[in-house]
Amino acid sequence: MEERKKAIWGAVVGIQLIYAGYFLLTKIAFDVGMNTFVFVFYRQFAATLFLAPFAFSLQR
């Protein structure tokens, strides 16, 4: 049970670190002057590239 609890806490901390990194990246991009629509396009494109292999492999 202890290992499971550690894994859950590790996942929670990992997700929070990813969210914080994304927030910093967003802040830097907008401070530099990036257009919000361009940023959203790049974000969605990156998500598509990341998730597409999983979608195709799980579909088979």
C-alpha angle 7-9-14 in degrees, rounded to nearest 5: 95
The position carrying tokens 């859950």 is 8
- Model's pTM, two decimal places? 0.69
User: What is the full per-residue pLDDT of the chain (60 aa) written as tens digits?
Assistant: 799 999 999 999 999 999 999 999 999 999 999 999 999 999 999 999 999 999 999 987
Sign of CA dihedral 37, 39, 44, 45: positive
DSSP state of 33: T
State how far the Cα of 22 lies from the Cα of 20, in Å rounded to an integer: 5
